[in-house]
Amino acid sequence: MHSFRANFRKDYEVYKALTSKEGYQLIELHDIPVILSDYKMPEENGVLFLEKVKENFPFTVRIMLTGHADMPAVVDAINKGCVFRFLPKPWNEEVLRNSIENAFDIYLTKNLLGIRNEELKKVYAELDKLVFSTAHDITGPLSNIMGLVTLIRMDDSNSAEYVDLIEHTAKKLKLIARDVLSFHRNKRTGINLRDIRLNQLIKTVMNEHQFFENSANINYTLEVYNDQKFVSDKSRLRFILNNLLSNAIKYQDREKKENKINILANVNSSELKLTAEDNGIGIDLDRQSKIFDIYYRGTNLSNGTGIGLYIVKEAVDLLEGNIELTSIIGQGTKFIITIPNLFGAEVKENN
């Protein structure tokens, strides 16, 4: 054991256990990718020890060492699948070193596959919800359009009113299609770093919302501090701003004399801190924990798809940022977003 630690401690962090009980305790306390065990141990043999390790820590790669010519033990260990390699003692250092390196490669591969498998499960669950909810959301408006077309054919004296209703329904369908496309783009598009003129971008997005329905009575304010070079994904940042502004407009409190939307941006060399605050209807406290879930609607007044804030959260996560929500019913809602400033990374030329 001492010679093993002397040979390998420069390349690996080596833990020592004299019994299987000590071994279990070490595994529970530390993330141990590779275990080397003797076949003969004081409390139980190495096959039983590694078999229990496999049950509780399946990603850990197991190697057994023995100086005893015990072929039944070798066969038993291999059949139970509890060992990656079975090496005789005294060991050959080169063979043992190669075995440990291979074991680490397998451990990393197993972990990566596990992570990818969880990501696939999440994607399949999201896709299932997307298909069901989109079909449900589209069916209602399409039925309305078909009904209105029938009414026009039966009574063309009110055709102008019916056409207005058809237009309103078509706009709702367009919003559904937009959100589904945004979902797809956010999932499939890689990070595209740009040198972003933040003040200009926010003003552009705010101007685009001036002619939205029910936006005429809103008072906008914008404050940008330390408007210096900021590098990030411009299209995702634009989507985040678009969604937060459109929600603030949509869920304003029409009983108030003045409706406000305040945007505050603070940029430094390490991050952007973006605050979007309104004095709208607010979100119930018991709904706030679910507000970023796919297809969750934060209010009974919502007629949206329930995708927007989910994509906002996904976009912020892809940019390795953070988003926080505070909201009080009747007072308003505030989103605080922090996004790393990747100034110094490879940037595509700002067109």
Domain shared by 205 and 280, yes or no: yes
Helix 234-250 and helix 159-188: axis angle, to 10°? 140
pLDDT digits (tens, 9 = 90+) for 274-318: 999 999 999 898 888 888 887 676 666 655 566 788 889 988 998
**What whole-number distance in Å separates Cα of residue 198 and Cα of residue 229?**
8
pLDDT value for 150: 77
- Residue 321: domain span: 193-340
Q: How confident is the model at residue 334 (pLDDT cuts 50, 70, 90)?
A: very high
Domain shared by 198 and 333, yes or no: yes
Picking from 188, 205, 236, the residue at the C-terminal end of a domain is: 188
Domain shared by 208 and 146, yes or no: no
Q: How confident is the model at residue 265 (pLDDT cuts 50, 70, 90)?
A: very high
Q: Which helix (H) or strand (E) holds 264?
A: strand 259-267
Examine residue 351 and state whether it is found in any structural domain, yes or no: no
pLDDT value for 231: 92
Type of residue at 124:
Y
Domain shared by 280 and 240, yes or no: yes
**What whole-number distance in Å separates Cα of residue 115 and Cα of residue 106?**
14
Report angle CA 161, 163, 165 to the nearest 5 degrees: 75
Task: Say if residues 338 and 267 touch (Cβ distance below 8 Å).
Answer: no
Which residues on adjacent β-strands are paired with residue 87? 65
In total, how many domains does the chain have? 3
Examine residue 102 and state whether it is found in any structural domain, yes or no: no
Picking from 144, 165, 188, the residue at the C-terminal end of a domain is: 188
Domain shared by 168 and 198, yes or no: no
Identify which has the larger pLDDT, 276 or 7: 276
Domain shared by 211 and 311, yes or no: yes
Domain shared by 29 and 75, yes or no: yes
- Burial (CB < 10 A; 0-12, 13-18, 19+), residue 286, is exposed
* pLDDT at residue 76 is higher than 70: no
Residue (of 203, 266, 196, 193) closest to 229 by Cα position = 196
Identify which has the larger pLDDT, 104 or 119: 104
Task: Say if residues 66 and 88 touch (Cβ distance below 8 Å).
Answer: yes
Average of pLDDT values for 83-95?
80
Query: What percentage of the chain reaches a pLDDT higher than 90?
Result: 17
pLDDT digits (tens, 9 = 90+) for 118-174: 877 777 776 666 665 666 566 666 777 777 777 777 776 777 777 777 776 777 677
Domain shared by 175 and 204, yes or no: no
pLDDT value for 323: 95
Domain shared by 332 and 207, yes or no: yes
CATH number at residue 79: 3.40.50.2300
pLDDT value for 11: 79
Q: What are the tokens at 245?
A: 């502004």
Average of pLDDT values for 29-35?
87
Picking from 48, 69, 91, the residue at the C-terminal end of a domain is: 91
Examine residue 262 and state whether it is found in any structural domain, yes or no: yes
CATH number at residue 244: 3.30.565.10
Domain shared by 175 and 308, yes or no: no
Domain shared by 202 and 315, yes or no: yes
Domain shared by 210 and 266, yes or no: yes
Examine residue 98 and state whether it is found in any structural domain, yes or no: no
Q: How confident is the model at residue 351 (pLDDT cuts 50, 70, 90)?
A: very low
Q: What's the start-to-end Cα distance of the chain, in Å?
A: 63
Report angle CA 111, 117, 118 to the nearest 5 degrees: 95
